[in-house]
Amino acid sequence: MQLHNFNSGPSILPKEVLDQAANAIHNFNDTGLSILEIGHRTTHFVAVVEEAKTIVKRLMNIGDDYEVLFLQGGATMQFMQVPMNLLDENGLAAICDNGVWGNKAVKEARIFGPVQVVADTSADKHTHLIKDLKLPANTSYLHITTNNTVEGTQWHSYPQLGVPLVGDMSSDIFCRPTPFHQFDLIYAGAQKNMGAAGVTMVVVKKSMLGKISRKIPAILDYQKHIEAGSLLNTPPVFAIYVSLLTLRWIEKEGGLAEMEKRNLAKANLLYNTIDASEHFYCPIKKEDRSIMNAVFFLKDETKEARFLEICKQNGMIGVKGYRTVGGIRVSMYNAMPHDSVKAFCELMNDFS
C-alpha cells in the first residue's frame, strides 16, 4: 500500500533528501567517515553551515544586516529566548494569540517583561486572524505566528506598524516568496519545511541585539552565537546537514516561486473539495486559511471516527486533528506530492 504522510511535523521530506542523508551516515563527502562521527569544527562541517546560511539568505533575499543561526530547542525555546534577548521592564512585547503556539509565546514572554496580547481569537476558536492591530506606544516588538499549525490559519501579508516584527515561521517557512525583510527576527523549527527535528533556524537583524542589560547565559545569547559563527558549542550536526539538503532541494526544484505554485495547487484542490462537499466543512475564514495545514470537520461528527478509520486503511497518515481542536487536519508541506492530496480528496469524495 502506498503511504501518504500528512503528519503535521516532524513531517514528510523529499525522497532524495532522505537518500542523501542515509548515504552521509555511511560516508560523508567521501571522507570515509559518517556525518555522525565528524568533528563540528572540521572544514567539512563548517562548509555545511556556511552553505546553509548562504542558501537561507538567498531564499530570503536579505543582506548582511541579518545573521542566520542554527540553534536547538525548537520554537518552544524561542518562546523564551526571544524575550530573554529583546525584552526588559522598560519595554513591552505585543503578541498575537491566535492559537496554541502564540499562547505559549505569551506565557513565556511574561517571565521577562510586560506583555500585551494585542489580538486574541480564542472566543472564535481561532477560526480567523485579527489583522487590525492597535499597539501600545512603548511596544518593543510585535510577535506573530505566521502559520497556526494547529488551528489552520495563516498570515498572507504581515502587519507593518513601525515596530520590530518577530515571526514564528516554524510551519510555513519557505512555502512561498515572502517579504522576509519586513521581519526583524524570524525563527523556525526545521521539522516541517526545512528538514528534520533537532535544529531551529533563527534569522535576526543584528541591530535588534544589545539593547537590554539582562545577563544572558551564553547558550541563549544570540550575540554570542553570532560571534561564534553558529559554532558556540557542539551543534546538532546531522540535523543541520539535513536542513542543508532540504534547502538545496528547494533551490533545485525552482525556489520559493515554484514552492508557492505547488502549494497553492494542493491547497486549492483540498479546500475546493471541502467547500463543495456535503459532508465536510472548513470553519476557517477563507482569507485566513493556511496553505500548509487545512483544518476541517465532518458535518456529522459521529462519522468522524469512521472516516479516520478509512483514512488509515488507505495509507493516509497523520490526518487526525490536534487533540484540543479535533476534526481533521491535513498538512501539505513543500515535500508533499500533489498526488497525495489528490488521493486524499478522492477518498473524501468516495466517503461522501
In angstroms, the CA 64 to CA 181 distance is: 12
* Complex with its own copies: residue 36 or 276, whichever CB lies closer: 36
Among 52, 91, 98, 108, binds its own copies (CB under 8 A): 108
Beta carbon nearer to its own copies, 21 or 163: 21
Torsion over CA: 247, 249, 252, 253 (sign): negative
Task: Answer whether 35's CB lies under 8 Å from 221's CB.
Answer: no
Name the minimum Å distance from CB 156 to its own copies. Answer: 26
Question: Per CB under 8 A, does 219 bind its own copies?
Answer: yes
Q: Which of 53, 192, 221, 288 is catalytic?
A: 192
Of 196, 201, 291, 295, the one binding its own copies (CB under 8 A) is 196
Question: Is residue 233 part of the contact set for its own copies (CB under 8 A)?
Answer: yes
Least distance between its own copies and beta carbon 18 (Å): 5
Among 29, 40, 130, 209, the residue binding its own copies under the rule CB under 8 A is 40
List 54, 61, 122, 234, residue binding its own copies (CB under 8 A): 234
Q: Does 318 bind its own copies (CB under 8 A)?
A: yes
CA distances, 283 to each of 155, 254, 345 (Å): 16, 33, 18
Phi and psi dihedrals of 270, rounded to 5?
Answer: -70, -50
User: CA 187, CA 182: separation in Å to the nearest integer?
Assistant: 14
Is residue 7 a contact point for its own copies (CB under 8 A)? yes
Element (H, E) at 95: strand 93-97
Choosing from 53, 97, 101, 266, the catalytic residue is: 101
Judge residue 103's burial from the number of C-beta atoms within 10 Å of its C-beta, 0-12 exposed, 13-18 middle, 19 or more buried.
middle
> 141, 165 in Cβ contact below 8 A?
yes
Active site residue 288: no
Instruction: State which residue, 39 or 254, has the beta carbon closest to its own copies.
Output: 39
Report CA-CA distances (Å) from 71 to 40, 137, 276, 293.
Answer: 14, 32, 43, 25
Piece in contact with its own copies (CB under 8 A), picked from 87-95, 149-157, 212-220, 276-284? 212-220
Cell numbers 553570532 correspond to what residue?
A: 226
Catalytic one among 168, 172, 184, 288?
168
Query: Scanning the structure block, which residue is given the C-alpha cell 556525518?
Result: 35
**236 sits near its own copies (criterion: CB under 8 A):** yes
192 annotated active-site:
yes
| Annotation marks residue 101 as catalytic | yes
Exposure string for 132-167, b = 16+ CB within 10 A, e = fewer: ebebeeebbbbbbbbbbbbbbbbbeebbeeebbbbb
Q: State the nearest-atom distance from the C-beta of 242 to its own copies, in Å.
A: 7
Let me know the angle formed at the C-alpha of 305 by 281 and 9, rounded to the nearest 5 degrees. Answer: 75
Distance between CA 276 and CA 293 in Å, rounded? Answer: 18
Q: Which stretch binds its own copies (CB under 8 A): 17-25, 55-63, 253-261, 343-351?
A: 17-25
CB of 318 to its own copies, least distance (A): 6
Q: Which residues bind its own copies (CB under 8 A)?
A: 3, 5, 7-13, 18-19, 21-23, 25-26, 32-34, 36-40, 72-77, 79-80, 84, 104, 107-108, 111, 189, 191, 196-199, 215, 217-220, 232-239, 242, 317-318
What residues are labeled active site? 101, 168, 192
